[in-house]
Amino acid sequence: MFIDEISIYVQSGKGGDGMVHFLRQKFIARGGPDGGDGGRGGDVILQVNPKLNTLAHFQQNARFIAKDGRNGGPTNMTGRSAEHLIIPVPPGTMVYDAATDELLGDLVEPGQQLTICKGGRGGRGNQHFASSRNQAPRTAERGEPGQERSLRMELKLIADVGIVGVPNAGKSSLLAAVTNAKPKIANYPFTTLEPNLGVALLDHLNSLVLADIPGLVEGAHMGVGLGDAFLRHIQRTRVLIHLLDGMSEDPLADFSQINSELALFDAGLAKKPQIVVLNKMDQPEVQERWPKIQKELKKHGYEPFAISALARTDVNPVLWKAVELLQTAPEPTVVGELPVYRPEEDPRTFTVEKTDSGYVVRGRAIERAAAMTYWEHDGSVRRFQRLMETLGVEEALRKAGVEEGDTVTIAGFELDWQD
């Protein structure tokens, strides 16, 4: 089954916790702090696998969670960092944030990577908090939480040449005639319900990747017929073979209609080089119509070809013309690899909300700090209190009317306010 749009959930790994520990060895009276740091959590990375040409493998598993970093150990031992989670995607995958619909990356080249969620850093052990005034710190950090997000991925096939036309024009027959592809072929509209790819080998130096795009009808850009679900696959192609049905009532009207649908969907499609080909020349009536159709197309600036995809006659000149046009056709524009997603807002910003049960503080930096605090160690709690004062959270709570004994909730942790 061809799947070209899918939604998945991804989550990077949490950093390992730093350790509170003191050196204890024989003949050493006062061992200093030697708690090790936690390891970094695993990143979530999308990577192009050229062997894939569909997103169907995501139907079996749509949740991807990277492993957490290991906790720090005694004698300054740093916990092991987790391996990155590599998720394979086919070339031509466009990645969007499902919540905002923001384009995060356009993955095209084999092996190209996009880090979509960065793993949390490891928490620091108590060795980092020693000072001349505090030589036995009972302070450490828990690992930084991982990031999570929902993604929408959309696939646009990457092909040199796209074969377009009305239903039953013979697009699948042409693809089967020039490549090893085996698309479904029958004499009724919409035989092709999904795009098909094939490689045509012209000689030892020249080859073409062709995509057979399902038939287009009037209103396709608005979802009529098979809809615009497959029109986006033409955007990646550099040259179009516009196949006309020689048995149609009016092949020239079909030609105009398809070009209109392409332009209405994307103005750039109308500017792509087109090779106009009349099909079904094995039929006597089509042979009779060919001179008139050829004359009309030449009036519009086209140099049309006539073939029989079923009999596989005169198809090679069409392919060599495509090779010629590809020499000068512009490369398809892609967004390219984008950096790791980071929100643009200042991470130190926060909000204070008064509720029936107390006060709720929300903010990226303060919530992360709360998740990384060892609440069972007084030193870590005092450090968190100093951070609240530095960020201005304490002042904001006082302005909001917090009083002795009120509950303040930060990242799910409930704290009792004390002056």
Architecture of domain 1-156+333-342: Distorted Sandwich (2.70)
Q: Does 53 carry a binding-site annotation?
A: no
Contact 111, 52 (CB under 8 A): no
Tell me if 413 is assigned to a ligand binding site. Answer: no
Among 54-68, 217-231, 350-364, the minimum mean pLDDT is found in 217-231
Instruction: Determine the Cα–Cα distance for residues 283 and 269; give it in Å rounded to an integer.
Output: 31
169 is an annotated ligand-binding site residue: yes
Residue 185: pLDDT over 60: no
Residue with tokens 């955007």: 235
Tens of pLDDT, residue by residue over 234-261, are 787 889 999 999 999 899 998 998 888 8
C-alpha to C-alpha distance for 42 and 117, rounded to whole angstroms: 9
The CA distances from residue 184 to 189, 314, 328, in Å, are 12, 22, 33
279 is in an annotated binding site: yes
CATH of domain 351-416: 3.30.300.350
Instruction: Give the global pTM.
Output: 0.70
What is the distance between the alpha carbons of residues 147 and 114, in angstroms, rounded to a whole number? 15
- 194 among annotated binding-site residues: yes
Report the share of the chain in percent with pLDDT over 90.
50
Residue 310 annotated as part of some ligand binding site: yes
How much is the pLDDT for 31?
Answer: 76
Model confidence band, residue 70 (pLDDT cutoffs 50, 70, 90)? very high
For residue 344, what pLDDT is reported? 52
Report whether pLDDT(269) > 90.
no
Beta bridge partners of 274: 240
User: Cα separation of 246 and 232, whole Å?
Assistant: 26
Report whether pLDDT(222) > 60. Answer: no
Contact 148, 13 (CB under 8 A): no
Residue 309 among known ligand-binding residues: yes
Dump pLDDT digits (tens) for 75-100. Answer: 899 999 999 999 999 888 989 999 99
- Is 340 a residue whose pLDDT tops 80? no
Residue-range domain boundaries for the chain: 1-156+333-342, 161-326, 351-416
The answer to the question of whether 343 is labelled as a binding residue is no
Q: What is the mean pLDDT of the chain?
A: 85
Q: Is 282 annotated as a binding residue?
A: yes
The enclosing H or E element of 369 equals helix 364-371
Asked if residue 224 belongs to a known ligand binding site, the reply is: no
36-64 per-position pLDDT tens digit: 999 999 999 999 998 887 888 898 899 99
Q: Enter the tokens of residue 266.
A: 């994307």
The CATH superfamily of 161-326 is: P-loop containing nucleotide triphosphate hydrolases (3.40.50.300)
Instruction: Tell me if 212 is assigned to a ligand binding site.
Output: yes
